[in-house]
């Protein structure tokens, strides 16, 4: 009751919210079948903070051309709006978790795509991802995690240790339709390697 009041909800919303939260916690997140309620505290990190130093001025058009070449979702996106950036990027990843020896990124989205879960198809979610340039968001998240794991795991290998990205469109999660509301992807290892070099200030010719 207290949490409902803090969130601005009347008491009568409790059954609806309980059912919805339960559906989110029990939803299979990917082909492995893992769900949020299966994750132990030792296998997850909430709001993981990261920093990405940018050694040389990063030109948006060059970054955009690179990610469009490797990521099919990026290929259908509108152009990036910034011109160039240099310095330090700071961010937070909603959830990083480990399952069966692989690491995953999860991001929660509250986007409204339609009246019910039937509107949250793979095609509709992909269109929303493109419109908001969430592709670059997850690519930056992956780069940050890639660098972190490379320093933490002695024999780290992207293909072996990185499982993928999960975007959880909360309004679309439906236990009767498990494919709705959950968008997953896993970019090519070559893209992350080239982004790593680009952010380190290396040209593609030097790499």
Distance CA 51, CA 33 (A): 31
Domain 37-199 is in which class?
alpha beta
Put simply, whether the predicted model's pTM sits higher than 0.85 gets the answer yes
Q: What is the pLDDT of residue 206?
A: 43
Q: What is the pLDDT of residue 205?
A: 45
Listed as ranges, residues in the chain with pLDDT below 50 are 204-207
Q: What is the pLDDT of residue 16?
A: 74
Q: Which of 41, 64, 71, 107 is catalytic?
A: 107
SS3 content of the chain, % helix, strand, coil (to 5): 45, 25, 30
DSSP structural state of residue 125: H
**Is 135 part of the annotated catalytic residue set?**
no
Distance CA 73, CA 126 (A): 7
Sign of torsion over alpha carbons 166, 83, 158, 150: negative
Which residues are within 8 A (CB) of 92 and not within 5 positions of it... i.e. 6 or more apart?
A: 47, 48, 49, 50
For residue 175, the SS3 value is coil
Strand residues in the chain grouped as ranges (E): 44-59, 84-99, 102-109, 162-169, 182-185
Domain locations in the chain as residue ranges:
37-199
pLDDT tens for 122-139 read 999 999 999 999 999 999
């Amino acid at each position: 009751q207290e949490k409902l009041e803090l969130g601005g909800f009347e008491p009568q919303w409790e059954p609806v919210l309980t059912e919805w939260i339960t559906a989110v916690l029990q939803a299979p997140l990917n082909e492995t079948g893992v769900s949020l309620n299966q994750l132990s505290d030792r296998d997850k990190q909430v709001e993981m903070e990261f920093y990405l130093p940018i050694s040389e001025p990063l030109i948006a058009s060059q970054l955009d051309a690179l990610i469009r070449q490797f990521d099919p979702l990026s290929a259908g996106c509108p152009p990036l709006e910034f011109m160039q950036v240099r310095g330090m990027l700071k961010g937070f990843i909603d959830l990083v978790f480990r399952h069966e020896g692989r690491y995953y990124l999860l991001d929660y989205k509250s986007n409204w795509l339609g009246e019910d879960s039937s509107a949250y198809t793979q095609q509709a979610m992909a269109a929303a991802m493109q419109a908001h340039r969430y592709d670059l968001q997850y690519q930056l998240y992956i780069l940050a995690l890639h660098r972190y794991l490379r320093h933490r795991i002695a024999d780290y290998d992207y293909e072996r240790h990185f499982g993928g990205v999960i975007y959880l469109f909360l309004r679309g999660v439906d236990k009767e339709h498990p494919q709705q509301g959950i968008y997953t992807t896993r970019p090519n290892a070559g893209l992350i390697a080239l982004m790593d070099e680009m952010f380190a200030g290396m040209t593609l010719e030097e790499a």
